[in-house]
Amino acid sequence: MTPPAAAGLTVAPTPAPPLAASAIVDMPTSLVDTFSDWDADRPVAPHPMPGRETASPTPRAASAGVVDPCDVTVLLATINERANLPTVLSEIEAAVGPGVQLMIVDDGSSDGTREYLLASARSDGSLRCIFNPAPQTIVGAHIQGISNSQTPYIVVMDSDGQHPPSAIPKLLDGLARGADVAVGTRFGPGGSTGGRTAFRGLVSRVAAVLIQATIRNTRGISDPTSGFFAVRRSSLVPFTRDLRGYETLVFVLAMMKHPRIAEVPYVFRERKNGESKVLRGFAFFRVFFTQLVAAKRTEFDARRRVGPNSPSVSGTAKPHGRSELGS
């Protein structure tokens, strides 16, 4: 990742004034599109970047388990992650390779995250940013990022360093071999929750059981609460609801008919800087159960839309199969 303090940059003063509405920043074209009301179903048209080919809507080299980095968007949601971002972005580029697209959705950071991203984007044509004036749940941020990316493959991961970018190539390998979704798992063979406390592990397990009991396509997945996954754009279904919550993967799977799912084990890392944004206590359970109800409604809408015996939502009949890729 190119350092943000590049010589000769004179675009926009720092600190920049707060935004009154969501904004998409696509540098180095210096284009800023602002919207009074966000329309998650309206993707922003790609803008050509000097010296870089705009990612094609279909994969160019997905044979033999190989994915072209230019066909990949890595999506991160941020709130006050200035201390973690430089390391995470560098690790992503090293793991995936030159040409990987980076989409970052920031929800009202106040620790210099926004200024760092703006400076970085001016000197790195692969980085696009969406700035929101206030926090929203991570599902909402991910929907924004997915709707405004153009590559055939999308990787969703945390921006705090807890998900190892070194596992991204195996997730992409799962997609290249035919999976619709490749899920990073802490609980499958070869995976680990790292230094998590027993209580946090118990909460994750209970949440997983409740999700599997509610959403059909999560059954059989060892880590349905995973925030680390990759998805094939052609297999995605348009988001039709105003969704909120913390388990984006649950909504992605709820909208599919018969997805092929690959699992990739990884070792969960503890964050080195900052604090977790996950709600605690009663607030967590309130949001979790609200999310679960919304996911079930989403699943019902999807099944009603395509019918119980019709082909999958991506247009091709696919078995509800799973594979596991070793670490």
pLDDT by residue (tens digit) across 288-297? 888 899 999 9
What confidence score (pLDDT) does residue 274 get?
62
Q: How confident is the model over 248-265, as a mean pLDDT?
A: 94
Whether the per-residue pLDDT at 26 is higher than 90: the answer is no
What confidence score (pLDDT) does residue 192 get?
87
Whether the per-residue pLDDT at 40 is higher than 70: the answer is no
Whether the per-residue pLDDT at 37 is higher than 50: the answer is no
What confidence score (pLDDT) does residue 316 get?
31
Alpha helices in the chain (DSSP H): 85-96, 113-123, 138-147, 168-176, 198-214, 248-254, 281-306
Q: What's the topology of domain 23-269+279-307?
A: Spore Coat Polysaccharide Biosynthesis Protein SpsA; Chain A (3.90.550)
Q: Tell me which residue of 78, 84, 87, 111 sits closest to 272, measured CA to CA.
A: 84
In this predicted model, which residue has the larger pLDDT, 244 or 88? 88
CA distance linking residue 191 with residue 92, whole number of Å: 20
What confidence score (pLDDT) does residue 57 get?
41
What confidence score (pLDDT) does residue 197 get?
67
Whether the per-residue pLDDT at 22 is higher than 70: the answer is no
Q: How confident is the model over 128-143, as a mean pLDDT?
A: 92
Q: How confident is the model over 187-205, as a mean pLDDT?
A: 78
In this predicted model, which residue has the larger pLDDT, 276 or 12? 276
Domain ranges of the chain: 23-269+279-307
Non-local (6+) Cβ contacts of 10 within 8 A are none
Whether the per-residue pLDDT at 111 is higher than 50: the answer is yes
Instruction: Give per-residue pLDDT as tens, 50-99.
Output: 232 333 344 444 434 579 999 999 999 999 999 999 999 999 999 999 99
Instruction: Give me 39's structure tokens.
Output: 């329309």
pLDDT band at 222 (very low <50, low <70, confident <90, very high): very high
The vertex-101 CA angle with 114 and 5, nearest 5°, equals 40
Main-chain dihedrals φ then ψ at residue 266, nearest 5 degrees: -150, 160
Instruction: Give me 300's structure tokens.
Output: 């019902």
CA distance linking residue 54 with residue 148, whole number of Å: 14
Whether the per-residue pLDDT at 6 is higher than 50: the answer is no
